[in-house]
């Protein structure tokens, strides 16, 4: 078991720190900078969907509806903790 | 006397950045806690000792991969397969780390390496929204505080989950599965509101990720490709500063 944990730690750590080591040796052209600046938004999109449908795997619509509640709350400029709280309550109510 | 006053100012600035970092990390702490507790319970039920399941959180610090590993252990899968699956699932952090360090040119390598080791989906995306801090003094203290707040919650929650077992009512812990998704939405929406074009980037990423997963590609690679190709649309949409074009 300990070797599994060490193995998982190594294959997770290398992709994480490698860019820190190599970044000082490369000068990216401007268009790559723009690409990298867009990565957070693309990552957020890819992380949200379709993963959100697996919140209740047997009822994918529950994750989607709670997600829409979160979109609404975020659109109203509520603090992110309230957005999270509102989504949790939505799922709780929907599964009553 | 003057140098003393100067030093005092430096300390105040540093403390200010640490406090700001902890504050920025609080939503992640809230989002991680129920997930970490659930992980601790599941890992313990799958036969990992308290020490093992906590060490996994300390050294791996990657929620989805840890859940996957625990599930595979329970199913009797071999270690090599578990490690390979972990690599595939976590390779997205390479892309995120590249985007992260590209904004932290002023930070020394000895600070950048530990910071990147603390990158998760949540710490990365949260940090990305605080890009102004990267140019300020004590930027590394800010990001380190943000990451450590999340890390403490993840490791502490895992340990408590393993020790206490199922303390949360099942209905409640099930409802809390939405927490991280809601957090991602809460991080993305303000940027879209400020600059509608950002929605295009996110939607392309969603489309590619969904399409590739429907073809049967593993979740890990589909997210990597969705992120890379969705981000590529930013070449035409973003400006260099990463603010709105």
For B216-237, write each residue's pLDDT tens digit: 999 999 999 999 999 999 999 9
Pick from A5, A13, A26, A43 the residue to mutate for testing the B interface (most B CBs within 10 Å). Answer: A43
| pLDDT interval class at B241 (50, 70, 90) | low
In angstroms, the separation between the Cα of residue B12 and the nearest Cα of chain A is: 27
Q: B205 contacts in A (CB within 8 Å)? A: 41-46
Asked whether the predicted pLDDT for residue B245 surpasses 80, the reply is no
Contact B122, B32 (CB under 8 A): yes
Q: Does A39 touch chain B (CB under 8 A)?
A: yes
Q: Nearest by CB to A8, which of B69, B203, B230? A: B69
What residues make up the domain containing A33?
A: 1-46
Residue B220 forms contact with A (CB below 8 Å): no
Establish if A76 touches chain B: CB-CB under 8 angstroms.
no
Structural domain containing residue B107? 2-171
> Quick one: what percent of chain B has pLDDT higher than 90?
81
**Residue B185 counted as domain residue:** no
The domain tally of chain B equals 1
> Does residue B163 form part of some domain?
yes
**Do B240 and A9 count as a contact with CB atoms less than 8 A apart?**
no
Residues A75 and A86 in one domain: yes
- Does A61 lie in the same domain as A39? no
Across the interface, whether the CB atoms of A43 and B48 are under 8 A apart is answered no
Shared domain check, A53 and A42: no
Model pLDDT for residues B166-182, shown as the tens digit of each residue: 777 777 778 888 999 99
Q: Is residue B140 included in any domain, yes or no?
A: yes
Task: Verify that A54 and A83 share a domain, yes or no.
Answer: yes
pLDDT score of B174: 80
Tokens (6 digits) for A90: 């939505």
């Amino acid at each position: 078991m300990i070797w599994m944990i060490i193995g998982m730690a190594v294959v997770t750590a290398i992709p994480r720190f490698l860019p820190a080591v190599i970044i000082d040796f490369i000068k990216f052209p401007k268009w790559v900078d723009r690409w990298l600046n867009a990565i957070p938004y693309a990552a957020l999109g890819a992380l949200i969907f379709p993963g959100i449908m697996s919140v209740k795997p047997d009822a994918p619509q529950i994750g989607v509806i709670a997600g829409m509640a979160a979109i609404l709350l975020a659109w109203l400029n509520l603090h992110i903790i309230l957005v999270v709280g509102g989504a949790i309550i939505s799922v709780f109510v929907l599964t009553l | 006397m003057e140098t003393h006053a100067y030093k005092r100012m430096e300390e105040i600035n540093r403390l200010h950045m640490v406090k700001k970092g902890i504050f920025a990390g609080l939503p992640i702490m809230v989002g991680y806690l129920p997930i970490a507790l659930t992980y601790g319970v599941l890992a313990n039920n799958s036969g990992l000792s308290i020490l093992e399941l906590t060490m996994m959180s300390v050294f791996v610090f990657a929620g989805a991969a840890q859940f996957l590993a625990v599930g595979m252990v329970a199913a009797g899968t071999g270690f090599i397969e578990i490690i390979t699956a972990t690599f595939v699932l976590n390779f997205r952090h390479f892309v995120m780390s590249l985007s992260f360090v590209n904004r932290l040119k002023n930070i020394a390598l000895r600070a950048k390496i530990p910071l990147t080791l603390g990158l998760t989906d949540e710490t990365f995306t949260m940090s990305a929204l605080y890009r102004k801090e990267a140019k300020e003094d004590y930027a590394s203290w800010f990001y380190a505080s943000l990451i450590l707040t999340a890390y403490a919650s993840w490791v502490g929650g895992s340990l408590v989950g393993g020790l206490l077992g199922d303390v949360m009512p099942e209905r409640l812990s099930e409802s809390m599965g939405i927490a991280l998704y809601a957090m991602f939405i809460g991080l993305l929406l303000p940027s879209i509101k400020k600059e509608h074009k950002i929605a295009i980037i996110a939607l392309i990423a969603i489309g590619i990720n969904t399409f590739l997963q429907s073809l049967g590609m593993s979740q890990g690679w589909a997210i990597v490709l969705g992120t890379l190709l969705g981000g590529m649309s930013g070449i035409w949409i973003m400006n260099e500063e990463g603010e709105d074009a």
